[in-house]
Amino acid sequence: PLSSGTLYLVSTPIGNLEDITYRAVRILKTVDLIAAEDTRHTTKLCNHYGISTRRVSLHEHNESKRIPSLLQKLARGAAIAVVSDAGTPLVSDPGGKLTAEVLAAGYTVEAIPGPSAVLAALTSSGFCTEKGFSFVGFPPHRSKDRKEFFLDFIEESRPVVMFESPHRIIGCMTDLAAVFESRRVAICRELTKIHESLVIRPINEALNLVSETRLKGEITLVIEGQSDRTVQKARPDWTNLLEEFGQLTLSGLPRRGAIRALATRYRCSSREIYRRIEADKSELFAD
């Protein structure tokens, strides 16, 4: 039996409708209300499993307005389920504000685990996860902001998982190549669907592939964590330092970001990179 005054966070399929638990279906059938990111999308799932529970929308544009009425329903003993369009709710999806308010009001929140594009992509990549992983959601839209965003993870030893849309994937991969160079990336597309695909390549090679192929559908990227192997492979010759610095700044990275990227590539401090760049400049002008 369901608990009254409880908010259930129910994971739903990320593509294949068979990827849902018996428990999730039972809860969706028996709660008093389903708060869905897109009621039209959730209706397809409900029709497939014979779920007739009343549905209301809960998305980024109306979540704050919905909270008072949903709290009132919980106060009257209702059981409410929250679902996103695909996968686990609150993971780069709405519902976080509501959940925080529900907990603050003293009501119970239960997570009903299930499909996750993050974990499906991570495990498919084969990258080392002994130290865990990082999930960063969607990167910024603007190229300059994206590069700054990626720099925060350049020294990350764990795989980094992110989402990206098809119409921004080329720009995203271009900026990844500028920052991470030859680090490997897994490009996971349309996970669990008929046209599912997985490509694992060094980022600079993957960029060429993405540029030549118009990708469609949902895309999840997994960036390989930094390791002795990846660092050694990407380490350039000291004699090219000034040229490398120039290429990074021309690609849009700020001076400080370019120095940070080179420090990781050379496996030394940013101060050492700065010192060598200034020394190389002095020699260049002296000649």
Q: In the chain, where are the structural domains located?
A: 6-115, 118-231, 235-286
Q: Which CATH architecture has domain 6-115?
A: 3-Layer(aba) Sandwich (3.40)
Q: What is the mean pLDDT of residues 136-163?
A: 93
Condensed to tens digits (0 to 9), the pLDDT of residues 234-278 reads 444 567 788 888 888 888 888 888 888 888 777 777 888 888 888
Question: What is the per-residue pLDDT for 234?
Answer: 46
Question: What is the per-residue pLDDT for 242?
Answer: 83
Cα–Cα distance measured from residue 182 to residue 162, given in angstroms and rounded to the nearest whole number? 18
> Which amino acid is residue 196, in one-letter code?
E
The helix/strand/coil state of 80 is: strand
Whether the pLDDT of residue 35 is over 70: the answer is yes
Query: Beta partners for 56?
Result: 35
Whether residue 110 contacts residue 6, with contact meaning beta carbons closer than 8 Å, is answered with: yes
The CATH classification of domain 118-231, taken from the options 3.30.950.10, 3.40.50.970, 3.40.47.10, 2.40.160.20: 3.30.950.10
Question: What is the per-residue pLDDT for 181?
Answer: 79
Condensed to tens digits (0 to 9), the pLDDT of residues 64-114 reads 999 999 999 999 999 999 999 999 999 989 999 999 999 999 999 999 999
Cα–Cα distance measured from residue 112 to residue 2, given in angstroms and rounded to the nearest whole number? 12
Whether the pLDDT of residue 202 is over 90: the answer is yes
